[in-house]
Amino acid sequence: MKIGVFCSANSNIDTDFFSLTRELGTWIGQKGHTLVFGGCNMGLMECIAQSVHEAGGSTIGVVPQVIEKGGKVSDFVDVKIACDNLSDRKDLMLLQSDVLIALPGGIGTLDEIFSVAAAHTIGYHNKRVIIYNMKGFWDSTIRMLDDLQSQGLIRGSWRNYIQIANSMEQIQLLIS
């Protein structure tokens, strides 16, 4: 299975996020899955790629030109797919992935989650986004989605498109 991971490229974040990301990456590698990620050598992106690689798994890095020009491409990219920009990266990651997992991240990660979910709601694909709610990181986003739904702004249940996992065990159940 190809597992796409959206996550932060920042390093100055909660160190527990790195430990939990390493655990996920090790599991992906040991199970023989392939990681699809943003190809950057910083933050949780580098952490997940390194842990998958060290556990014997393979990685596909979808690398925008600006990352390449800036010398920020991860050494743990086994297959590199070059792209022009972040919009292309999202599209290519979605195309390459069977399922997507969102780890802690910022504006870019939010954009990725909602782009994939919005495309699913109108039938472009049937791929799931799993939010890995490490240490309750995504609690406020979950509340916001519940609020939008309660106000009638989301047709159906947003949980049909975005699933929540609070532990590695839950991720394993959702992916198996």
Q: How far apart are CA 40 and CA 67, in angstroms?
A: 7
Neighbours of 90 (CB within 10 A): 22
Per-residue pLDDT of 76-93, as tens digits, reads 999 999 999 999 999 999
Can you give the pTM of this predicted structure? 0.96
Closest CA to 62 of 44, 46, 86: 86
Domains of the chain: 2-175 (3.40.50.450)
Q: Residue 79 has which token pair?
A: 């297959």
> Which residues fall within 8 angstroms of residue 21, CB to CB, at 6 or more apart?
7, 44, 47, 48, 51, 103
Q: Residue 115 has which token pair?
A: 């782009």
Q: How far apart are CA 123 and CA 135, in angstroms?
A: 32
Per-residue pLDDT of 3-31, as tens digits, reads 999 999 999 999 999 999 999 999 999 99
* Residue in this structure with the two tokens 């490229």, named with its chain if needed: 9
